[in-house]
């Protein structure tokens, strides 16, 4: 039965595979590039395909090989990653690229891939399977949803994961394992969707136990939602009279480490208050900047100031207006900027013409 399921799915995938910039179409005869497979899998962790496409295309245009990425400046990579979220991935990306370049290329097996910095079980299985044709069991959120429905797994997540993996393993073929892995992910992303599964066109419609029992929308069973912890902090958005912005590079041991951002309190460590980074007529805005992280919600009190030309930046630095772009800073800092720009102290700061 499982061989029939795999064959039916691969036949469906050959006709309906998504066109993605990192993917080799089935039947094309082209070999997947391990670098592009690995880069896409890292970017796709807890991030949607729609959000990743543009970043992937810019990254591969700027750094077309793992060797090129390994030679890149940390700050350049962090700036290019800004807005994609989960910034530890970018630091691990660089560490892994440098390790791969140092050993002359990506290892081919799942076990060897696991030895690289930042590569866990899922990424190792994906690269081994998709890039090198190794039989490996690839399980992401889409695969979890498909397996719980096809086999009607009523055990709540995360306790169900060993059972899910066992079923996924039983379906993974020795031939075309990479296409099979991508096919299950495509099935979950396009047909076996969370809220409105399109069962009528699913290649696994007949054997799907959850569909037969009318419980497909109840799978997977998720644990009760926990209350999200709330954190608070303060952030300082300063703009000099010539239009330059006061920014800091966050320490490597901090959340968003290595990224540019506005100075402020160590909210990632539970600190709500911090003195201004420079002296100035700081004004508190009425609107708070809010952002949701994976494990807490953050509210930031926004302080703004227009600063004299002779202001010394201290531990921060001034970035000229013509060199600053919101794309340089992570999403939470962009939300702070959106609030700050409601103040004429920031929005109306025009460059001063020097004699």
> Tens digit of pLDDT for each residue in 180-199?
999 999 999 999 999 999 99
Architecture of domain 230-347: Alpha-Beta Complex (3.90)
Burial 30-53 (b: 16+ CB within 10 A, else e): eebbbbbbbbbbbbbeeeebeebe
Query: What residue ranges of the chain are covered by domains with CATH 3.90.79.10?
Result: 230-347
> Tens digit of pLDDT for each residue in 203-245?
999 999 999 999 999 999 998 888 899 999 999 999 999 999 9
Q: What pLDDT, on a 0 to 100 scale, did the predictor assign at position 353?
A: 29
Query: What residue ranges of the chain are covered by domains with CATH 1.10.340.30?
Result: 2-218
Is domain 2-218 in CATH 1.10.340.30, yes or no?
A: yes
* Residue 41 bears catalytic tag: yes
> Tens digit of pLDDT for each residue in 29-72?
899 999 999 999 999 988 899 999 999 999 999 999 999 999 99
Q: What pLDDT, on a 0 to 100 scale, did the predictor assign at position 1?
A: 54
DSSP for 202-266, written as a single string: -TTTTT-HHHHTT-GGG-S--PPPPPPPEEEEEEEEEEETTS-EEEEEPPTTSTTTT-EE--B--
Q: What pLDDT, on a 0 to 100 scale, did the predictor assign at position 349?
A: 54
- Model pTM? 0.79
> Tens digit of pLDDT for each residue in 151-168?
999 999 999 999 999 999
> Tens digit of pLDDT for each residue in 87-119?
888 889 999 999 999 999 999 999 999 999 999
| Catalytic option among 41, 80, 110, 144 | 41
């Amino acid at each position: 039965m499982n061989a029939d399921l795999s064959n039916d799915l691969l036949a469906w995938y050959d006709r309906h595979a998504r066109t993605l910039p990192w993917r080799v179409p089935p039947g094309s005869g082209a070999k997947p590039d391990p670098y592009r497979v690995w880069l896409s899998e890292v970017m796709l962790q807890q991030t949607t395909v729609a959000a990743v496409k543009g970043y992937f295309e810019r990254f591969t245009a700027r750094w077309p090989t793992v060797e090129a990425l390994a030679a890149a400046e940390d700050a350049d990579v962090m700036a290019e990653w800004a807005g994609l979220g989960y910034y530890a991935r970018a630091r691990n990306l660089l560490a892994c690229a440098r390790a791969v370049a140092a050993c002359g290329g990506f290892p081919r097996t799942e076990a060897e891939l696991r030895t690289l910095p930042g590569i866990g079980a899922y990424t190792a299985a994906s690269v081994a399977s998709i890039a090198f044709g190794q039989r490996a069991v690839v399980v992401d959120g889409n695969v979890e949803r498909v397996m719980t429905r096809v086999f009607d797994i009523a055990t709540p997540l995360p306790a169900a994961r060993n059972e899910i993996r066992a079923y996924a393993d039983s379906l993974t073929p020795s031939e075309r394992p990479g296409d099979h892995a991508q096919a299950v992910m495509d099935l979950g992303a396009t047909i076996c969707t969370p809220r409105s599964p399109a069962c009528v066109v699913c290649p696994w419609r007949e054997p799907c136990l959850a569909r037969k029992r009318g419980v497909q929308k109840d799978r997977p069973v998720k644990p009760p939602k926990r209350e999200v912890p709330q954190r608070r902090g303060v952030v300082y958005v300063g703009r000099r009279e010539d239009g330059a912005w006061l920014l800091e590079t966050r320490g490597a041991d901090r959340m968003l480490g290595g990224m540019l951002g506005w100075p402020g309190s160590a909210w990632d460590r539970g600190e709500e208050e911090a003195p201004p980074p420079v002296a100035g007529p700081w004004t508190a805005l009425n609107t708070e900047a809010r952002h949701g992280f994976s494990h807490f919600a953050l509210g930031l009190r926004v302080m703004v100031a227009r600063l004299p030309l002779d202001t010394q930046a201290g531990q921060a630095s001034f970035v000229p207006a013509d060199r600053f772009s919101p794309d340089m800073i992570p999403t939470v800092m962009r939300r702070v900027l959106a609030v700050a720009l409601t103040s004429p102290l920031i929005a109306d700061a025009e460059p001063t013409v020097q004699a």
